[in-house]
Structure 1
Amino acid sequence: MSKIILITGASRGFGKIWAKALLERGDKVAATARNIADLNELVEAYGESVFPVKLDVNDHDAVFAAVKKVKEHFGRIDVLINNAGFGLFGAIEETTEQQARAQIETNFFGLLWVTQAIVPIFREQGSGHIIQVSSFLGLITYPVLGLYNASKYAVNGLSETLAQEVKAFGINVSLIEPNGFATDWSGASAVQTEATETYAPLKKAFFEAATPDQWGKPEATAKAVLALIDSKNPPLHFLLGKVALPTVKQVYADRLAEFEEWKDVSAEAHGH
């Protein structure tokens, strides 16, 4: 039986790649984009299997209306892929208030609104799979991506909590946590702070350290995402790419060692 999948941010990058993979195998996709014309390629290729929806996830009321429209169109929704988001590159000190708010508004609040809109539908159905597109930078941090890191840490905290709250209703929650991939995330879709000389050496070292083989091929993720969607017992945390796991393991090992080093001081602070 084909699945009905709602994908936000489906006009480019991961969203478009995964939409195509799902449509190729016979699933039906409700694809959202801020500019609905950007979805024409999918509609022309897959016809009525695609339901294009104009949506800016920052618009709370529009999100709820769009999700309702998708449910009415297809009769049900089986999977949500909360993919809309962008990268903000720059040192924290360089980041303007507007840039910081825009990053959190889209990457966190936009995802939250779609999540809140879909949960009652899944709860009524007694089933559903919420897939939040986060990042391995929701588990560790890199310099020059402070607000992006913060947005993904927030997504992870929200989603881990959500998984506990909705499990009894037959709803699964998964966090897709890719390492770096060669998508528009770091290119046309990215926002840059106004650079200062203060952080130029740090940025130079950071970008020079990223060798080409560290960037995954976006098209290669489709098989993994299909496996996640088809899993009867999907994981809460799902890393994508060969860089993510060893990097996260090292950071967590260092973190645990630091906790251990200070454990006596920490325990004494309990007071009894």
Structure 2
Amino acid sequence: MTETPKNWFVTGASRGFGREFARAALERGDRVAATARDAAALHGLAGELLPLALDVTDREAVRAVVHEAESRLGGLDVVVNNAGYGHFGAVEELTETELRDQLETNVFGALHVSQAVLPGLRQRGRGHLVQVSSIGGIGAFANLGAYHASKWALEALSESLAVEVARFGIHVTIVEPGGYDTDWAGSSARRSTPLSAYDPMRAEAAARRSGQAPGDPAAAAQALLEIVDSPAPPLRVLFGAQAPGIVRTIYGRRLAEWDRTGELARRAHGPH
């Protein structure tokens, strides 16, 4: 238990990372306003829990629920934007509605919550926004274009936000997990209608994933406690043993390609 219990607001707390984050905070004596589309799904979390029903795509509902949490807890210290899902489908397979829905939850949902909590955090002169992204917010892989689009957008918004709110004593941390033992690719995922031309691509992706040992969300929750307790938390943090190697490979390829095309970049500048 921390010396002074923190007040948390966690979205998407019915399963996966969100539930483990809420559980870890509650177990050490913090107070948690946990949200899910169906508040009954929060049953089983023990401690000073405030269960709240919330669809983060509903801007007005977000404002009302945040106000309720602030009033009942006496302000917020840690806000975790975790609500989201993965959409599987090749870019050619995506419908406009599917892409918009992915962005509505993963990007606009986080935006709604962030904007709703910021006035209270600014007034208190402190606070910590935790944006749950992914290594899919750094690189992009086949069959996940919509998901990557949402996480790249979330990362850009969050990096700008971090610069904007630092003067108010507010920290922002972007959490970038690798593969974990959650329901992300299971019942919580959505999928486009497949085109047979992309079946080999999906088979290759499944074969690559089969040899990877997933991380433990409970261990990730303990790591998050360390981050929110730090006086100087990172802007970005990778979660999972495989994530650093994957990210180094991604950035290595990018740097090599930029080096290879450096002369072209100079010519594109025009006369000096």
Partner of 1:259: 258
> Equivalent residue for 1:193?
192
1:49-198 aligned at under 5 Å gives the runs 49-198=48-197
State the partner residue of 1:38: 41
CA distance in 2, matches of 1:175, 1:135: 9
Residue 241 of structure 1 aligns with which residue? 240
What CA distance in whole angstroms lies between the structure 2 residues aligned with 1:198 and 1:18? 40
Instruction: Show CA shifts across 1:190-245 (max 9, x none).
Output: 11111121100011001111134342122221211111111111001110001111
Aligned to 2:11: 8
C-alpha distance in structure 1 between counterparts of 2:22 and 2:176, whole Å = 18
CA distance in 2, matches of 1:40, 1:144: 34
1:20 corresponds to 2:23:
yes
C-alpha root-mean-square deviation of aligned residues, in Å?
A: 1.0
Q: Tell me, in whole angstroms, the C-alpha distance in 2 between the residues paired with 1:15 and 1:112.
A: 17
- Provide the C-alpha distance between the structure 2 equivalents of 1:217 and 1:79, rounded to a whole number of angstroms: 22
- Deviates further, 98-107 or 203-212: 203-212
Question: TM-score with structure 1 length normalisation?
Answer: 0.96
Amino acid in structure 2 at the alignment position of 1:85 = G
Give 3-state SS (helix, strand or coil) of 2:259's partner.
helix
The 2-side partners of 1:220 and 1:143 are apart by 28
Distance in 2 of aligned mates of 1:261 and 1:213: 32
Provide TM-score, normalisation by structure 2.
Answer: 0.96
Measured in 2, the distance between the counterparts of 1:258 and 1:212 equals 29
- CA deviation map 1:10-45 (0-9, x unaligned): 111111111111101100000011111112222xx3
Letter in 1 for 2:15: R
Measure the CA separation in 2 of the matches of 1:267 and 1:163.
Answer: 32
The residue matched to 1:186 in structure 2 has which SS? coil
Unaligned runs of 5+ in 1: none
Q: Distance in 2 between matches of 1:212 and 1:28?
A: 39
Secondary structure of the residue aligned to 1:235 is: coil
Distance in 2 separating the partners of 1:156 and 1:233: 19
d(CA) in 2 for partners of 1:133, 1:222? 12
Partner of 1:203: 202
Provide Cα deviations, 1:52-104, integer angstroms capped at 9, x if missing partner: 11110000111111111111111110000000000101111111122111101
Measured in 1, the distance between the counterparts of 2:44 and 2:213 equals: 30
SS at match of 1:6: strand
SS state of the match for residue 130, structure 2? strand
Relative to its length, the structure with more helix (as a share) is 1
Deviation at 1:160, TM superposition (A): 0.5
**C-alpha separation in 1, matches of 2:49 and 2:181:** 26
| Residues 229-268 of structure 1: per-residue CA shift (max 9 Å, x gap) | 1111100111000111111111101101111111121122
Instruction: Quote the Cα distance in structure 2 between the aligned partners of 1:59 and 1:119.
Output: 17
In structure 1, how many angstroms separate the alpha carbons of the residues matched to 2:247 and 2:53? 36
User: 3-state DSSP class of the match of 1:41?
Assistant: coil
CA–CA distance in structure 2, aligned partners of residues 249 and 212 of structure 1: 20
Aligned to 1:224: 223
> 1:37 and 1:223 mapped to 2: Cα distance?
25
Structure 2, gaps ≥5 residues long? none
